[in-house]
Amino acid sequence: MKRQRVAVVGCGMLAQSVHLPNVQANPRGELVAVCDLDPAIAEACRQTFGAARAETDWQRIVAADDIDVCILATHTNLRGAFIIPALEHGKAVYTEKPLAPDRAEMLAIVQAVRRTGRPVCVGHNRRSSPAMLEFRRLLTAAQGTTGWPASVDRSAGRESLPEERGLQLLMRVNDDIRSWKEWIFTDDAGIMFAEMVHFLDLALWLNPGHPVRVFADGSPRGNFTLLLRFDDGALTTIQQTMVGHFDYPKELYEAATHNITIAMDHHIEVRQCGLADEPLLQTFPYAAVTTWAPEPGMTGYFHALDADLRHAARTIGVEKGHARHLDRFLTHLDGLGENPCPVDGAVAVNRIALKCLESARLGLPVAITPEDWHIPA
């Protein structure tokens, strides 16, 4: 097992709370360098996380001979300009989402990956959340069977409708505008591009069919609903609110197919009805930093909230897969597993996010065609 020499570029809140601690804690990673435009922040991160050096010029990271992997945690204004030369210098890249802000830059990154043979992993970390992986496993199992009979079942002798074979997927994102960074309010795409790519990625990852149409209603800044239709008739609805409360659980996913219902709540609880050989309820650990919340699952979450948070103003961290996503990428670099989120899939996600923006501005459904989700070899 090779110990990968890592540099983190962009030392903002996400890097300091997620990427730098994850590299520090992973025995297969060695933090060689940190880089930020602000020299004070770069130096503080060097000291806090034990990097060998601090830089303010990302081009020095690209050219360095003692770095194997770059983690790019900057704003979306730096993507292809960094990723492409890093690949050409033999480095692997883990980049925060979204992959790039426009089609030409995305394609240039894909071409660089294919030309250099060096991999890029996109930080759609929810693919590596333990609860989300279980949700997907159950959903895959549900698509090949029929749920157990319900308490009321009048289907005997009735012809099965074509719609009964479809998949209905709902993603509810509860957010609180008071917690948002200032750039969101001036960015033309609001959060419909930079944040919703997480959930559009899951929609493509969880649906076996290809998307054919999207309709977005609401403001790209927040309070919107996205509806995706797939070529097999499946529908995915993504509802985002900017007027919720930050302490309420952020994410709820519900899937229904073949008379089976599966839910994943806030990455700490998975529930299902219809699969006879599976447990009805499973709970998953909080994030490692949340050691003081003793009870698991949603009941434990609300007990902790009621007993402590309203007085201490602490958040309950949940495991959304950040550390595991990086670890899976390091495993891929060792030749022992697949890339958890390669660039081809991320390009499809970004292109569909741009279609969502188009739909919201037009107030009309927008077609998704094969060139949006397929990149020729």
pLDDT in tens, 35-91: 999 999 999 999 999 999 999 999 999 999 999 999 999 988 899 999 999 999 999
Q: Tell me, yes or no, whether 136 and 242 share the same domain.
A: yes
Tally of domains in the chain: 2
Q: Tell me, yes or no, whether 106 and 229 share the same domain.
A: no
Q: Tell me, yes or no, whether 134 and 264 share the same domain.
A: yes
Range of the domain at 213: 127-149+164-284+350-362
CATH number at residue 73: 3.40.50.720
Q: Tell me, yes or no, whether 139 and 261 share the same domain.
A: yes
- Across 164-180, average pLDDT: 90
Whether 156 maps to a domain, the answer reads no
Does pLDDT of 352 surpass 80?
yes
- Please give the pLDDT value at position 103: 87
Whether 259 maps to a domain, the answer reads yes
**% of the chain residues with pLDDT over 90:** 73
Q: Tell me, yes or no, whether 170 and 264 share the same domain.
A: yes
- Mean pLDDT score of the chain: 92
Long-range pairs for 305-313: beta carbons < 8 A, 24 or more residues apart: 305/247, 309/247
pLDDT in tens, 176-211: 988 887 877 887 888 898 889 999 999 999 999 999
Which residue spans within the chain are E strands per DSSP? 4-9, 29-35, 53-55, 69-72, 92-95, 120-122, 167-174, 211-219, 222-230, 235-241, 251-257, 260-265, 269-273, 281-283, 366-367
Does pLDDT of 368 surpass 90?
yes
Whether 39 maps to a domain, the answer reads yes
pTM of the full structure: 0.92
Q: Tell me, yes or no, whether 20 and 67 share the same domain.
A: yes
- Please give the pLDDT value at position 271: 98
- Please give the pLDDT value at position 348: 93
CATH number at residue 203: 3.30.360.10
